[in-house]
């Protein structure tokens, strides 16, 4: 039986990784709510965020904050390119949603191969944003990077809420999510809104990747696991609002972390996938019911 | 007909046709609305009325030509037509149900961009026509009654400052009193100079308001005539099935 200290420590660790899952989940929600598309390339944006930040940091010697900003912009650009060259042409030809979703999976695999060829297959990491630490609270150790994840996560969720509720473009995105035809009939350029959704979503994924890389590592193949966990978090949260997705992520992160303490690392995925099935059985529309809106 | 010949019309549709797969839902159709005119399209279920409106607003692919205020707008997209002032209220209202009345109205004013003066002027106009929307301003659209939702749908369209307002069966599912109230408001707007193209099943109400009527049946226009020439339902039935 694990000690209280072990349980609390794993809780802290779980919240940290859960926030990352939450940010990825928000990325899933932004695109899904604007288009009905589940973007399985979301995980690859996480990987690209870490890879680009590392490359800019090590090759050009820029400060970490600037590397992070540039990497986020670059990945958002990749997201826009994916939308323009893959999603939009299929969208215009009225391709079935499952075909578009399959295309996003192909994009994930394609980008992974391009990364192997251009940046290599070796894992890489960079120092935490604030050196020193961890902060000791009694027997519990809290890495400074967790505070960065917490702070950036809170700022991003708050900013997204403000964006969706208070800005013209944010309201237009929500309108597209609810009724694309009605939005277009009022002058909303729906295809442009989808580009905005991809830019936002890929930028969020990049931010998650940039924040988590110092505590773990990044490599061409990390996108898959991050994408799957972000997707599970989005399902648990119900594909609803950003806070719901974030809570879904924290919930998943904590459960995984506690599963490692109780049963060992091998059970992490067994427990999280079982949790997904339990949630889907008891709450078919997610914990916060967001999936009903598109049913 | 040429674009120049159609310049006198607010909107003119030439040989507009649309298909759903192998089904020819709309045969080549001609139609026009003059500036400040109220035109009604009547026809039985399945006549192609909604298809005609969806083709005109580019919600579905079509062949033929659409000229608006003397400009060929056939190649424009739906949102670009809205920018020019062609605003349609869809059948079923097309409200953003999870959004409040205020947010729905703000989306209606999307094309006014940052102009707060224009926005406030349109909002005052909408509230003067539908005072109930002001009372329900913070309520979500889906929680309102059918009549209030239709008022919101029309009010939201007016927020876009339309030059041509197209409505697809606005009285559908409404109590007769509410339907009359909404259609009367459309009549008042028309008297102020707004061009209106109305698809409506409640023929007596529509005929009271409109100056001209097109009768559509089996995907093509069967008749175009001034409303005063239609004396009874019997006349309409003759056109429907002729």
Contact indicator for A27, A248 with CB cutoff of 8 Å: no
Domain CATH number, residue A104: 1.10.3470
Contact indicator for A233, A226 with CB cutoff of 8 Å: no
Percent of chain B residues topping a pLDDT of 70? 92
Best probe of the B interface among A33, A168, A186, by most B CBs < 10 A, is A186
Q: Give me A113's structure tokens.
A: 């191969």
pLDDT at position B102 is 95
Q: Indicate yes or no: CB of A171 within 8 angstroms of CB of B99.
A: yes
Strands B11-20 and B63-68: antiparallel
Nearest chain A Cα distance for residue B21, angstroms? 13
State whether residue B149 sits within 8 Å of chain A by CB. Answer: no
The confidence band for A284, taking pLDDT boundaries of 50, 70 and 90, is confident
In total, the C-beta contacts within 8 angstroms joining chain A to chain B are 70
Catalogue all structural domains in chain B, each as residue range(s) with its CATH number: 1-85+197-242 (3.40.50.300)
The confidence band for A291, taking pLDDT boundaries of 50, 70 and 90, is low
Instruction: Enumerate residues 6+ apart whose C-beta is below 8 A from B181.
Output: B147
Average pLDDT, chain B: 90
DSSP 3-state assignment of B23?
A: strand
pLDDT at position A1 is 78
Look at chain A and report how many structural domains it folds into.
1
Q: Is the pTM of this model over 0.95?
A: no
Contact indicator for B11, B32 with CB cutoff of 8 Å: yes
Average pLDDT, chain A: 91
pLDDT over 50 at A295, yes or no:
no
State whether residue B108 sits within 8 Å of chain A by CB. Answer: yes
Q: Sign of the CA dihedral A41, A162, A65, A17?
A: negative
pLDDT over 70 at B84, yes or no:
yes
The confidence band for B114, taking pLDDT boundaries of 50, 70 and 90, is low
Which residues from chain B sit within 8 angstroms of residue A185, using beta carbons?
57, 59, 78-79, 82, 87-88, 90, 94
The confidence band for A294, taking pLDDT boundaries of 50, 70 and 90, is very low
B131 φ/ψ sector (left φ>0, alpha ψ -120 to 50, else beta): alpha
pLDDT over 60 at A292, yes or no:
no
The mean per-residue pLDDT over the stretch A107-128 comes to 95
State whether residue A186 sits within 8 Å of chain B by CB. Answer: yes
**Domain assignment of residue A288, given as a range:** 4-294
Please report which helix (H) or strand (E) contains residue B150, including its range: helix B146-159
Strands B164-168 and B86-89: parallel
pLDDT at position A280 is 85
Cβ neighbours, 10 Å, residue A115:
21
Instruction: Enumerate residues 6+ apart whose C-beta is below 8 A from B175.
Output: B147
State whether residue A94 sits within 8 Å of chain B by CB. Answer: no
The confidence band for B6, taking pLDDT boundaries of 50, 70 and 90, is low
Nearest chain B Cα distance for residue A214, angstroms? 40
pLDDT at position B231 is 66
Best probe of the B interface among A166, A187, A196, by most B CBs < 10 A, is A187
Dump pLDDT digits (tens) for A212-237.
999 989 999 999 999 999 999 998 88
pLDDT at position B140 is 95
Percent of chain A residues topping a pLDDT of 90? 67
């Amino acid at each position: 039986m694990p000690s209280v200290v072990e349980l609390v420590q794993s809780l802290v660790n779980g919240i940290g990784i859960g926030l990352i899952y939450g940010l990825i989940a928000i990325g899933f929600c932004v695109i899904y709510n604007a288009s009905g598309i589940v973007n399985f390339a979301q995980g690859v944006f996480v990987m690209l965020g870490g890879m680009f930040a590392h490359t800019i940091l090590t090759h050009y010697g820029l400060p970490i904050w600037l590397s992070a900003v540039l990497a986020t912009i670059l990945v958002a650009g990749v997201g826009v390119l994916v939308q323009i060259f893959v999603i939009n042409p299929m969208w215009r030809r009225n391709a079935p949603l499952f075909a578009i979703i399959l295309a996003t999976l192909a994009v994930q695999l394609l980008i992974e191969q391009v990364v192997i060829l251009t940046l290599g297959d070796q894992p890489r990491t960079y120092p935490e944003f604030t050196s020193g630490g961890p902060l000791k609270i009694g027997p519990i150790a809290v890495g400074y990077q967790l505070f960065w994840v917490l702070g950036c996560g809170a700022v991003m969720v708050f900013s997204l809420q403000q964006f969706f509720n208070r800005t013209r473009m944010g309201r237009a995105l929500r309108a597209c999510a609810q009724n694309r035809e009605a939005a277009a009939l009022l002058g909303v350029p729906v295809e442009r809104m989808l580009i905005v959704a991809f830019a936002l979503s890929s930028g969020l994924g990049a931010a998650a990747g940039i924040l988590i890389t110092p505590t773990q590592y990044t490599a061409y193949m990390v996108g898959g696991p991050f994408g799957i966990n972000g997707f599970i978090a989005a399902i648990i949260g119900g594909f609803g609002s950003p806070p719901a997705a974030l809570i879904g992520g924290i919930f998943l992160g904590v459960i995984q972390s506690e599963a490692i303490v109780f049963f060992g690392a091998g059970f992490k995925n067994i427990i999280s996938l079982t949790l997904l099935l339990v949630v889907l059985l008891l709450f078919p529309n997610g914990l916060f019911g967001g999936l009903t809106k598109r049913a | 007909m040429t674009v120049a010949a159609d310049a006198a019309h607010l909107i003119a549709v030439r040989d507009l046709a649309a298909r759903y797969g192998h089904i020819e839902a709309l045969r080549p159709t001609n139609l026009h609305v003059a500036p400040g005119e109220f035109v009604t399209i009547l026809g039985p279920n399945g006549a192609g009325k909604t298809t005609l409106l969806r083709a005109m607003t580019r919600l579905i692919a079509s062949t033929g030509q659409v000229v608006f205020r003397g400009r060929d707008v056939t190649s424009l997209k739906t949102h670009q037509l809205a920018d020019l002032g062609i605003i349609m209220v869809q059948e079923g209202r097309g409200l953003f149900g999870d959004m409040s009345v205020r947010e729905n109205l703000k989306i209606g004013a999307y094309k006014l961009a940052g102009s707060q003066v224009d926005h406030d002027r349109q909002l005052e106009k909408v509230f003067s026509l539908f005072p109930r929307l002001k009372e329900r301003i913070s309520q979500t659209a889906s929680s309102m009654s059918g009549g209030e939702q239709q008022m919101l749908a029309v009010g939201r369209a007016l927020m876009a400052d339309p030059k041509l307002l197209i409505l697809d069966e606005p009285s559908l599912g409404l109590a007769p009193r509410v339907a009359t109230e909404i259609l009367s408001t459309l009549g008042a707007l028309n008297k102020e100079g707004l061009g209106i193209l109305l698809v409506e099943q409640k023929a007596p109400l529509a005929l009271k308001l409109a100056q001209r009527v097109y009768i559509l049946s089996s995907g093509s226009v069967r008749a175009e005539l001034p409303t005063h020439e239609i004396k009874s339902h019997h006349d309409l039935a003759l056109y429907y099935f002729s």
